[in-house]
Amino acid sequence: MPKPLILFDIDKTLIDTDRLRALLKQNLAQLLGRSEDEVADAFLEYGSNLPDNTAFHPEELLKLFSQRFHTPIEPLRDAFYEPSRFQQALYPEVVDVLSKLRHQGYTLGLYSQGELAWQEHKMLANNLLEFFDKNHRYIKREKADPAIIENLPENTIIIDDKPGIIAFLETFPHVIPLHIVRERANHVGEYTLSTLNDLLPILDSLRNSGSSQQ
């Protein structure tokens, strides 16, 4: 069985977005000399005007902060994009697992939902973008798109945290969805991971089952 393409979601798969949000709020509160509650209220005001989370755009958020707190946008930008905060939000096993997979000859890609530059920034701040094949970086406002999945190679593995996306992927027999549940909520899908470390033995199992069927 040839080694399959492996696609990774970004939020809550590679990056702890809850931790990232908390760290960015801390940075902005320190810069502005405001309480974290005041900063959280500004985040809520911005979020209340979005149709959904995938519409989040950092520059629009920073414009709101600049107007609300009467602060120039450049220092806000510096505080918001501070690389160390993005690095602290990276799940601890990610680099090791990606390095092992690349060394073993797997082709890796991204399957993520959101604003392109924002999602890519999370990868660039952690020096991760180089791990992912340029031809297989699928970052869309709406990724539950049959046109994306239908063109993927046979036995493509896709790792995602959202039950709805897993259910969508399970309608395509040529891909293998793996559900990552870091909070140990209700599991969906044939295979479930609690961290990316669980991926390696699952790949061994899939490879062995593929060999036995040949």
In SS3 terms, 32-98 reads as HCCCHHHHHHHHHHHHHCCCCHHHCCHHHHHHHHHHHHCCCHHHHHHHHCCHHHHHHCECCCHHHHH
For residue 40, with 0-12 CB atoms within 10 Å meaning exposed, 13-18 middle and 19 or more buried, which class applies? Answer: middle
φ, ψ at 156 (rounded to 5°): -60, 135
In which band, very low, low, confident or very high, does the pLDDT at 143 lie, cut at 50, 70 and 90? very high
pLDDT over threshold 50, residue 120:
yes
Predicted confidence (pLDDT) per residue in 67-106, tens digit: 999 999 999 999 999 999 999 999 999 999 999 999 999 9
Token duo for residue 149:
């999945």
Predicted confidence (pLDDT) per residue in 198-208, tens digit: 999 999 888 77
In which band, very low, low, confident or very high, does the pLDDT at 211 lie, cut at 50, 70 and 90? very low
Q: How far apart are CA 150 and CA 195, in angstroms?
A: 27
Q: List residues bridging with 197 in a β-sheet.
A: none
Average pLDDT for 8-27 = 97
Q: CA triplet 185, 188, 193: central angle to 5 degrees?
A: 70
Q: Which residue has the tokens 């899908």?
A: 189
Residue type, 77: R
Cα–Cα distances (Å) from 72 to 23, 30, 31, 121, in that order, read 21, 15, 11, 22
Token duo for residue 162:
């959202």
The CATH architecture that domain 6-16+91-212 belongs to is 3-Layer(aba) Sandwich (3.40)
Give the mean pLDDT of the chain: 92
Q: How far apart are CA 53 and CA 69, in angstroms?
A: 23
> Is 84:22 a contact under the CB 8 Å cutoff?
no
Any idea where the domains of the chain sit in the sequence? 6-16+91-212, 17-87
| Global confidence as pTM | 0.92
Q: CA triplet 103, 87, 95: central angle to 5 degrees?
A: 15
CB neighbourhood size of 198 (10 A)? 17
Which secondary structure element, helix H or strand E, spans residue 164, and what is its range?
helix 163-169
